[in-house]
Amino acid sequence: MPGALLERWAIRASSLYLALDTARVRGDVSQINQVVPPGQKLALTASSFTLGAVLTEDDLGTLDGLFKQGTTGQWLRQQFESSFAWDLDRSWVRRQYAPGRYPRWHAPHAWHQDGALGFDFAQASTSGAPAAVPIEMVTCWIALNACGADSPGLEFVTRNLDRLLQPAELDEEYVRQSFSPGDFWHPALQAGDALLFRGGVPHRTYVTPGMTADRTSIELRFFAGAAVPQDPSSGLLLV
């Protein structure tokens, strides 16, 4: 990833989060809404903006070109074995804060699988349906600054499971007991490092009490053509 591009995105993101954090301190919901650029969305508890809040159309075109070329594009095509799409409305710029710096209405991500997107666990638990399978998708997670050591990173169970774990199975203690110590991985990353993982891979925010810096990242979501969740507002880039 070109360093100048990463630096530009990081500067834009920092400006956006400064405005968001100021509005949070004041507790003014209307001011928070004003921070969100037109046509974009904010997931407040995740401190996440949809991608267009930081990236321009030219930036999106550059990313699209990167995904079509080189080892990343080759790996994606191997995973899907068919046409696939990059969903802009489910791609995010995300800020994770160091312990003790959490702003109002923010929470780190507990264990989850991205392939559970949109799944209704409550309904499934009462219907007696068999275990659901993850959506056929890939997440590309890009660090905009060094993370995993002084700032929060990600922790994985290094298995792509063929079923969705139930909420009770995503409890921290349950996850630790269900997998061997060698199945867990929390990498230390540098700015521009990218991780690609399938929708069945359990993961969470990796944060320790000694971390002192915040982390900003970009999350891109790719779906197999037939598996894209139905959403009339979704903006798709075919790859």
For the domain bounded by 3-238, which CATH number is listed?
Answer: 2.60.120.10
More confident: 57 or 236: 57
Q: Taking all residues of the chain, what is their mean pLDDT, rounded to a whole number? A: 88
Q: pTM of this prediction? A: 0.89
Q: Is the pLDDT of residue 52 over 50?
A: yes
> Residue 218 carries which side chain, given as an amino acid letter?
I
Supply the pLDDT for residue 11. 95
Alpha-carbon gap, residue 196 to 174, rounded angstroms: 25
Of the listed ranges 25-29, 34-38, 97-101, the least confidently predicted one is 25-29
Evaluate if residue 55 carries a pLDDT over 90. Answer: yes
- Separation CA 221–CA 92 (nearest Å): 9
Q: In which region does residue 140 sit, left (phi positive, over 0), alpha (psi from -120 to 50) or beta (all else)?
A: beta
* Contacts (Cβ under 8 Å, ≥6 apart) of 221: 86, 87, 90, 91, 114, 117, 137, 138, 139, 140
Q: Where are the alpha helices (DSSP H) in 99-239?
A: 121-127, 172-178
Q: Indicate whether 112 pLDDT > 70.
A: yes
pLDDT in tens, 130-184: 668 899 999 999 999 999 999 999 999 999 999 999 989 999 999 999 999 999 9
- Structural domain spans, the chain: 3-238
| pLDDT > 90? residue 69 | no
pLDDT of residue 89: 86
**Which residue in this structure is represented by tokens 């053509």?**
225
pLDDT at 16: 96
